[in-house]
Amino acid sequence: MAELVTLPQYMRRNGQTMGDQPAMRMKYLGIWNTYNWSDYNEQVCDFAAGLSTLGFARGGKLGIIGNNMPQLYWAQMAAQSLGGMAVPVYQDSIAKELAYVLNHSEATVIVAEDQEQVDKILSIRDELPKLQHLVHCYDRGMSDYDVDILISYEDVRAAGKAFNSSNAGFMDGEISKGTGSEIALMCYTSGTTGNPKGVMLSHKNMLSAGEIFIANEGVRADDDFLSYLPMAWVGDTAYGPVISMLIGATCNCPEGPSTVMRDLRELGPTGIIAPPAVWEGMLSNLQLKGADAPPLKSSIFKYFIGVARQIEDLKAEGKSIPVGLSLADTIGEYLVFGPIRDQLGLRRARWCYSGGAPMGPDTFRFFRGLHINLKQGYGMTEVGGLVTLQPDGEASSDTVGRPCPGIDVRVVDDGEVQIKCDGIFAGYFQQDAQTAEVMTTDGWYRTGDAGVLNENGHLVIIDRAKDVGKLEDGTPYAPQFVELKMKFSPFVNEAVSFGDGHPFISAMVAIDFETVGKWAEGKGLPYTNYMDLSQKPEVVSLISDEVRKINQGLPEVSRIKRFLLLSKDLDADDNEITRTRKLRRGFIAEKYGPVIDAFYSGGKEVELQLAVTFEDGTEAHVDSRMTIQDAA
């Protein structure tokens, strides 16, 4: 067999050698529907041929928008089978964001999940001059639409099936033409400092990262993964379809975003990758359930969680575990830890990874204490999503692991982490100057992250290099360090700290509306909405107590001196965070400038008119008065 150098070529191999094995599942109306590799190949080849009848050809760009579902993955693979590239976008993007990405990428065909996503695209059609066809996967609600560019997924597939029946060998020929250097995927960056950039990843880039991960984690053909991360995030493709193509593992799509945790428990994946926000959400729910349990169960939960925390602290310090603690840990496995893993759907998981953003050490050690093999990895879109991994037995909250074999990492004099590997992207689409800015003359990618390689060869990421600063007295200040500590509290959803050039550290806190709301209901405290709840004196007192606890675990110089409860959560629609929940610090500093001024001028109250953005891009303004608190 000829060397396989593209994702569709691996897909064709799987169809030929493991045709009856499961390739993908989709839960629909409460039932898991299974598609084997023969089904997968047939779906992709039929849809690809249908695309070709619509004029889609080598070098074309196909937009993807919607929740994780087989049809969208098949459409993505179909575009790649014809030598084109897929351009997935975030399904919760507002119209303005969609217009920029889909216009900039020059997508000629867009495949949308349902009526909601179709309506979004049609609302910005005038801003997409290259758009020729809009394909919808679900027919529900679409019967009355009379739009010239609109066509159903099944109609495209049927046209392709007919074309293939009279043009035998067409798809084999197209797939065989593929080369490793062809662009397979265009993922747009988060856009923390401006408009997103289109990262062009070739088949070679993606396959290289997948092969390295498989070799390091021993991925098997009978492994199950939950495909729930946004398709627009490189991690979804890198740790889903790519690994599936290479080894034959099965990707499983949940019924919808609201059922992910339930579907996770039903599936019991053998491995999972989740951003810190998912782990933090699990932690908050566990803490809340533990506190709300009957007294005996609550006491047992708290005791054994305390045992787990002590053990993880001793491991972090390199100390031996006393016999008494080890015995308690064994008992805790049967009474608490095992049942919790079962509730989370992680009893079968051989490995779990946190990636995409830093994770707080307290959160990391909590899950490690439950005997979950949680580890940290490091990567970014521009290198195919993979740079470092933590080997079993070397998991640590302080590092992001060792550079993987075949991936070179160096830290230059100014502390910036730089990378060289086969996964380095082909460049930013139509942005040669920006591409040149992030590449050195000798071929290393500049990450923009500040870090060090420790004595064990593990990479330690301090923060984004541009975000690392100093307090007024010259003390180094890394905002993420403080923010991650704060987010360990189940009542804190998001935090933004300030301190660079100032005499002390201050912070804005966004409460976790669901968790604080349940707490308020338990106290018989009425509230109407987020703004009302967040500014209630009882909630202010609750968060003040949380800040006090956090400060106790921080060095004196890193303690929070003043804080404020935001009257609204930070929102990607309002440009305060990215779709991957990274802070847009520059925008936040400008928008909340009066708050920062009040922090350091001794102010007690701040009045702001805050803009709230709706899905169609329209804005409303809300007057808000917030009180600044002095931390104990």
**Domain CATH number, residue 461:** 2.30.38.10
Residue with tokens 């495909």: 227
Same domain, 76 and 158: yes
421 and 475 share one domain? no
d(CA 101, CA 103): 6
Each residue's pLDDT tens digit, 564-588: 999 999 988 888 888 878 888 888 9
> For the chain, how many structural domains are there in total?
3
476 and 461, same structural domain? no
Instruction: Tell me whether residue 358 is in a domain.
Output: no
Domain check: are 543 and 435 in the same one? no
The CA-based dihedral angle spanning residues 446, 451, 457, 458, taken in that order and rounded to the nearest 10 degrees: -110
Place of tokens 């608190």: 629
- Determine how β-strand 224-226 pairs with β-strand 198-202: unpaired
pLDDT at 192: 60
Q: Supply the mean pLDDT for the chain.
A: 92
In a domain, residue 429? The reply is: yes
What's the CATH number where 508 sits? 3.30.300.30
Say if residue 451 is in the same domain as residue 551: no
Query: What digits encode the pLDDT tens for the residues 610-625?
Result: 777 766 667 777 788 8
Domain that holds residue 23: 7-269
Q: In this structure, what is the dihedral angle of CA atoms 164, 168, 174, 175, given to the nearest 10 degrees?
A: 90
- Residues 356-392 pLDDT 10s: 778 888 899 999 999 999 999 999 999 999 999 999 9
Whole-number Å distance between alpha carbons of 50 and 163: 7
- Both 482 and 420 in one domain: the answer is no
The H or E element containing residue 244 is helix 241-247
Task: Confirm whether 282 is domain-assigned.
Answer: no
Domain membership flag for residue 125:
yes
Same domain, 481 and 461: no
Of 225, 244, 269, which residue constitutes the final position of a domain? 269
In a domain, 308, yes or no: no
Domain boundary pick from 217, 242, 269:
269
What pLDDT score was predicted for residue 1?
A: 57
**pLDDT single digits (tens) 35-71:** 999 999 999 999 999 999 999 999 999 999 999 999 9
What is the rounded CA–CA span in Å between residue 220 and residue 238? 16
453 with 472, same domain: the answer is no
User: Do 527 and 567 have their domain in common?
Assistant: yes
Q: 127: Cβ–Cβ under 8 A, 6 or more apart, which residues?
A: 99, 103
Instruction: Examine residue 338 and state whether it is found in any structural domain, yes or no.
Output: no
| Same domain assignment for residues 202 and 121 | yes
Residue 27 pLDDT > 60: yes
Split at pLDDT 50, 70, 90, the class of 208 is very high
Q: Assess if residue 229 is contained within a domain.
A: yes
Sign of CA pseudo-dihedral 449, 583, 480, 487 = negative
Q: Are residues 113 and 258 in the same domain?
A: yes
Of 430, 445, 465, the domain-final residue: 465
Give me the CATH number covering residue 181.
Answer: 3.40.50.12780
Question: 């401006």: which residue's tokens?
Answer: 194
Whether residues 259 and 110 fall in one domain: yes
Does residue 509 fall inside a structural domain? yes
